[in-house]
Chain A
Amino acid sequence: MNYDVAVIGAGVTGGLTAAALARYRLGVCIVEAGADVALGATKANSAIVHGGYDPVPETLKAKLNVKGAAMMADLCRRLDVHYKNNGSMVVAFDEEQLEHVKMLYERGKTNGVPEISVITGDEARRLEPALSKNVVGALLCKSSGIVCPYDLTIAAVGNAMDNGTDLVCNFRVTSISDDGEFYTLRSEGGDEIKAKYIVNAAGLGSDEVARLYGDDYHLVAKKGEYMLLDKSEGGLVSRTIFQTPTKAGKGILVTPTVDGNLLVGPTSEKTERDDKTTTLEGLDTIKAKASLSVDGINYRAVITSFAGLRSSFEESEDFVLEISKHSPRAVNAIGIDSPGLSSSPAIAEYIVNLLKDAGLGLEENPEYVGTRISCKHFRTLSDAEKNEMIKNDPSYGRVICRCETVTEGEILSAIRQNPKATTTDGIKRRTRAGMGRCQAGFCTPFVTELIAKELGIAENQVTKTGGGSRLLLGKRK
């Protein structure tokens, strides 16, 4: 099929770009190497909408972070994604760090970050009683927030698809040729997709994709390990607590998540591009460092640990968002590391403008629908509304995941709704079934059965996350 635009990569950058393009009368296709959306850097990061005081003024990071953060609440409302404006603190443990905090304050002011101030240690502890007594001062940012990055991406891709965008998963782009009007994207498997314009939002693979049309970038993978704690611990802090960045690194944050868990991490370590392993040392480092800023973190309540990869440039600090120097209808989004999630709504807008500069015609689509209802919507309803829904569809009355109270109705909706879940991890990220304290011990057999039934496949063909990740290896004797 021939498209106007092919977006390579269904992470938060690609997903939001596709959603932004959905406003226009265009044929758009998202091409994704994995079995589902949001499997790369988007899947595992700190899930923070930063205020924007970190990036150096005048950089793309500074501009797009502040702008993106301001757009986030509205975007999330439109896409039925849970966003919480919980605020954040950067805590200092000594005078030197306090100087750095004051520098961040000045930087924030220059960048146009709203609602920031420098407060004393006691003021900080009044707001967050669990803060360590060693905190001597902090930067308080009321405008920052938290959002679930894959929730946002799933919703954005779903909204784009509802408006006619195609999503092709399991399509790893291995060659790109250009006949002057159309690019031809070829996959490992020999499939082809043609598009007049391409957006390279391939995350950690974006330098390799760029090389296919002559651009030379070199990314490094930086691994960040995290620990997620039970919802019983989610109330330890209400704001995101950062440590002051030092020469040794950015420090470990402690934050509630939108779903009510407590998240601590990340480490930061250069690694291989496919290395998402957690390590004993990494997890020990997190424990030791997180406990510096917040007292009483109950590590017995850790329910899972994971690692994510950031795609960073070794030399340059800033995002690369530009029309390719070698290929005039290709737009690069390369090196989108932190604050990539915070910036993503503004990055998407920026990319659309670059496409326009490259010659793409943008005609409003009169049938465009800007909203989407999440399969998780059920849990937000009142009892009376829930009962109305259960009356119409009894599957909403049957709880499948007991830890997170996820019903069969929500799971079926996740399988049927764009972008359709086809794996147990896909169900987990869309509905939270399996995301709770038992970590899918009880619900895996039920979720597997629902996927098999809906997709019309055998249960032992169901995978955790596509490819060879089969859950079951055959029938019993």
Chain B
Amino acid sequence: MKKCDIAIIGGGPAGMAAAVSAYDNGVKNILIIERDEGLGGILRQCIHNGFGLHRFGEELTGPEYADRYKKMVLEREIPYIVKTMVLGIEQGENGRHTVTAMNSESGVFTIDAGAVVLAMGCRERSRGQLNIPGERPAGVYTAGTAQRFINIKGEMPGKNVVILGSGDIGLIMARRMTLEGANVKVVCELMPYSGGLNRNIVQCLNDFDIPLRLSHTVSKIHGKERVEGVTVSEVDEHLRVIPEKSEYIECDTLLLSCGLLPENELTKGAGIELDRVTGGATVNQNRRTEQTGVYSCGNVLHVHDLVDYVSEEAELAGKSAAEFVKAGCKEPEYVRRLAVIATGGVRYTVPQRVDVTENPDDIKIYFRVGAVMENVRVRVSCGEKELLLQKKRKVAPGEMEFVRIKGEQLTECDGDITVEIVK
């Protein structure tokens, strides 16, 4: 059995940042386990720019951003294994964990780890999950699959394209496919607002005259062998298709960019409960899950809009894991547990709870709202006590928000913390 202090599941941006942070916080015996052929995760296929503005103060491409972190991993000589699939995580002796994995070199093997950092990323919602009726021809792809075909393999998945969903990957792929000579006819969005970043709508659609139809969906896929067309329909306020407001659009490809789902099968297998809204584990301010010694960060915890935030969160998780290991696989002494409740227009928060120590550090609470709202205020409170009231010109489901709460304020809290949007 291999042995390490911290096993990091996933060598994408979250896993690499967690590893670097754990190392810099004094734990050297780390193992990153990656299923793909190299470190970098999904960034390897994101050749567009826009990464790193917050983190590095400059615009990088996905591979460039990944390389920055890969370099940090290599400089520190943090061990990593690739082409290795983790099959399961179990609680072991003395607060430790047993990770079972498989690869071509070692077959099925186990790793005895002090702490585990979950950094497996997310997957895209598929056609089947969206329940789009119609036939089942070739030519229906999630945007990320199309991205891999084009950017990694140099192959075009289609020429005449309709995109369903205005998530960021869909917007990026609208531009990418146009640049490669494809005709992107329309981007349909079920909701009355886009799920992507505003800058992507401007740079990827408007600049290329690609129409965005809000409150529209694909109600049927046509084509026996290859996609021949789709029926695009307007939806009512309950998101139901209005059959009279439908139009047949000829195309050979339907790309789906309808949301990302944290990939938490390992987490569930380890017996860790998931948050119904985020699809990730529930964590405290240190990104510790409900299970001692298991941390979660990046898109496996909740879907982020920017990789910069992923890195930041992963550094926090890596640091927490390192402190856990340094304390002899023990959690800090907590004096109180406060639940963080999302309400009044706020869909979820991360963390979902705060474990308060004698001298708590300042914390950041990230959250997403359920609808576009303008000129509102974010209110954070504990019982009668208002901890924060902050103006926001505009909040939207596509943009993650955060608020800071000071450590001394937490000391005074003795009930649930509520995060809400007020007028």
Is chain B a partner of chain A in the same complex?
yes
Contact B107 A391 (CB under 8 A): yes
A463 to B135, CA, bound (A): 16
User: Is B328 an interface residue, CB under 8 A from the partner?
Assistant: no
Question: A472 and B149 in contact (CB under 8 A), knowing A303-B126, A397-B103?
Answer: yes
Please report the C-alpha to C-alpha distance between residue A276 and residue B135 in the assembled complex, in whole angstroms. Answer: 6
| B126, B139, B155 interface centre (most CB from chain A within 10 Å) | B155
State how many residues of chain A have any CB contact under 8 Å with chain B: 56
Interface digits, A219-251 against B, CB 8 Å rule (1 contact, 0 not)? 000000001100010000000000000000000
**A-chain residues with CB within 8 Å of residue B134 when the two chains form the complex:** 277-278
Cα–Cα distance between A472 and B146 once the two chains are bound (Å): 10
**Among B107, B127, B220, residue most surrounded by chain A Cβ atoms (within 10 Å):** B107
Does B145 interact with chain A (Cβ within 8 Å)?
Answer: yes
Segment of A25-33, A70-78, A82-90, A434-442 in the binding face: A434-442
Contact B128 A305 (CB under 8 A): yes
CA distance A440 to B135 in the complex (A): 17
Contact in complex: A274, B133 (CB < 8 Å) = no
* The 6 residue pairs across chains A and B that have the minimum distance between CB atoms: A304-B128, A397-B104, A387-B107, A394-B104, A439-B126, A464-B138
- Interface positions of B (Cβ within 8 A of A): 35, 83, 85, 87, 102-108, 123-124, 126-129, 131, 133-139, 141-142, 144-145, 148-150, 152-159, 180-181, 219-220, 224-226, 241, 252-253, 265, 268
- Residue in contact with B268 in the complex, picked from A232, A438, A459, CB distance below 8 Å: A232
Cβ contact within 8 Å between B126 and A476: no
- Contacts A277-B220, A383-B108, A445-B153; is A398 near B135 (CB within 8 Å)? no
Residues of A near B156 (CB, < 8 A) are 460, 472-476
User: Given A394-B104, A405-B85, A470-B226, do A476 and B137 touch, yes or no (CB 8 Å)?
Assistant: no
Contact B128 A303 (CB under 8 A): yes
Contact among A274, A280, A475 with B155 in the assembled complex (CB-CB below 8 Å) = A475
B124 and A463 contact, CB distance less than 8 A: no
A21 to chain B, nearest CB (A): 32
Chain B nearest CB from A53 CB (Å) reads: 33
Q: Please indicate the chain B residues that have their CB under 8 angstroms from the CB of A304 in the complex.
A: 126-129
A residues near B180, Cβ cutoff 8 Å? 476-477
B129 and A302 contacting across the interface, CB-CB below 8 Å: yes
* CB neighbours of A302 from chain B (8 A): 128-129, 131
Which residues of chain B come closer than 8 Å to A438, judged between CB atoms? 123-124, 126
* In the assembled complex, A283 has its CB within 8 A of some CB on chain B: yes
CB interface residues, A 374-393, toward B, < 8 Å: 383, 386-387, 390-391
Task: Give the nearest-CB partner of B154 in chain A.
Answer: A476
User: Interface on A for B, CB 8 Å cutoff?
Assistant: 227-228, 232, 274, 276-280, 282-283, 302-306, 383, 386-387, 390-391, 394-399, 402-403, 405, 437-442, 444-445, 449, 459-460, 463-477
- Which residue, of A278, A302, A441, A460, has the highest number of chain B Cβ atoms within 10 A? A441
Contact A399 B85, CB 8 Å, known A473-B159, A473-B252: yes
Q: Could you say which residues of chain A place their CB within 8 Å of the CB of B265?
A: 403, 437
* Nearest CB of chain A from residue B149's CB, rounded to whole Å: 6
Q: How far is the CB of A175 from chain B (nearest CB, A)?
A: 24
Let me know if A398 and B127 touch, CB within 8 A.
Answer: no
17 residue pairs bridging A and B, Cβ less than 8 Å apart: A277-B134, A278-B133, A302-B128, A303-B126, A303-B129, A395-B104, A397-B104, A399-B85, A403-B265, A439-B126, A440-B145, A442-B123, A459-B155, A460-B156, A463-B225, A464-B137, A476-B154
Q: A397-B102, A399-B85, A468-B225 are in contact. Are A279 and B133 (CB under 8 A)?
A: yes
Query: Is there contact, CB below 8 Å, between A470 and B138?
Result: yes
Which residue in B128, B133, B159, B225 is a CB contact (below 8 Å) of A467?
B225
Residues A399 and B224 in contact, CB atoms below 8 Å apart = no
Are B145 and A398 interface neighbours, CB within 8 A? no
Chain B nearest Cβ from A319, distance in angstroms? 29
Residues of A within 8 A of B124 (CB): 438, 441
Question: Bound complex: CA of A167 vs CA of B108, how far in Å?
Answer: 37
Chain B residues with CB under 8 Å of A466's CB are: 225
14 extra A-B contacts, CB within 8 A, seeds A468-B225, A470-B226, A476-B155: A277-B133, A277-B134, A279-B133, A282-B133, A303-B126, A383-B108, A386-B102, A398-B83, A405-B87, A438-B126, A441-B123, A444-B145, A467-B225, A469-B226
Which residues on the B side are within 8 Å of A467 (C-beta)?
225
Q: Is the CB of A441 within 8 A of B126?
A: yes
B289 CB to nearest chain A CB (Å): 18
- B45's nearest neighbour on chain A, judged by CB, is A445
A232 vs B269: C-alpha distance when bound (angstroms): 10
CB distance from B300 to the nearest CB of A (A): 13
Closest to B103 in A: A397
Neighbouring B residues of A470 by C-beta, 8 Å: 138, 226
Q: With the chains together, A383 CA to B220 CA distance in Å?
A: 45
Query: Within the assembled complex, what's the spacing in Å between the Cα atoms of A472 and B226?
Result: 10
Which residue of chain B is the closest to A459 with respect to CB atoms? B155
State whether A469 touches B137 (Cβ < 8 A): yes
Q: Which residues of A contact B148 (CB under 8 A)?
A: 445
Residues of B contacting A440 in the complex (Cβ-Cβ under 8 angstroms) = 126, 145
Residue from B87, B108, B141, B268 with most neighbouring chain A CB atoms (10 Å): B108
CA distance A248 to B401 in the complex (A): 53
Cβ–Cβ < 8 Å partners of B225 in chain A: 463-469
Beta-carbon contact of A463 and B104 below 8 Å: no
Nearest residue (CB) in A for B106 is: A397
Pick the contact of B131: A283, A465, A472 (CB < 8 A): A283
A318 to B104, CA, bound (A): 53
Q: Once bound together, how far apart are the Cα atoms of A276 and B334, in whole Å?
A: 59
Which residues of chain A are near B159, meaning CB under 8 Å?
473-474
Q: What residue in chain A is nearest B153 (Cβ atoms)? A: A445
CA of A386 to CA of B225, assembled, Å: 38
CB-based contact A386/B107 at 8 Å: yes
Interface centre among B35, B133, B142, B253 (most CB of A within 10 A): B133
- A468–B223 Cα distance when bound, in Å, is 10
Check if A305 sits within 8 Å of B131, measured CB to CB: yes
Residue numbers in B under 8 Å from A439 (CB-CB): 126-129
**Bound complex: CA A465 to CA B106 (Å):** 35
A441 and B142 contacting across the interface, CB-CB below 8 Å: yes
Contact residues in B for A445 (Cβ distance below 8 Å) = 145, 148-149, 152-153
Smallest CB separation, B125 vs chain A (Å):
9
A303 to B125, CA, bound (A): 9
* Interface contact B129-A441, CB-CB below 8 Å: no
Give CA–CA (A99, B134) in the complex, Å: 39
Q: What distance in Å separates the Cβ of B257 from its nearest Cβ neighbour in chain A?
A: 12
Q: Given the complex, which residues of B lie within 8 Å of A306, measured CB to CB?
A: 136
Closest to A463 in B: B138
Cα-based distance from A402 to B220 in the complex (angstroms): 29
B153 neighbours in A (Cβ, 8 Å): 445, 449, 459
A441 CA / B124 CA spacing, docked (Å) = 7
Q: Which of B85, B152, B158 interacts with A473 by CB under 8 Å? A: B158
CA distance A228 to B155 in the complex (A): 31
Chain A residues, Cβ within 8 Å of B224 = 274
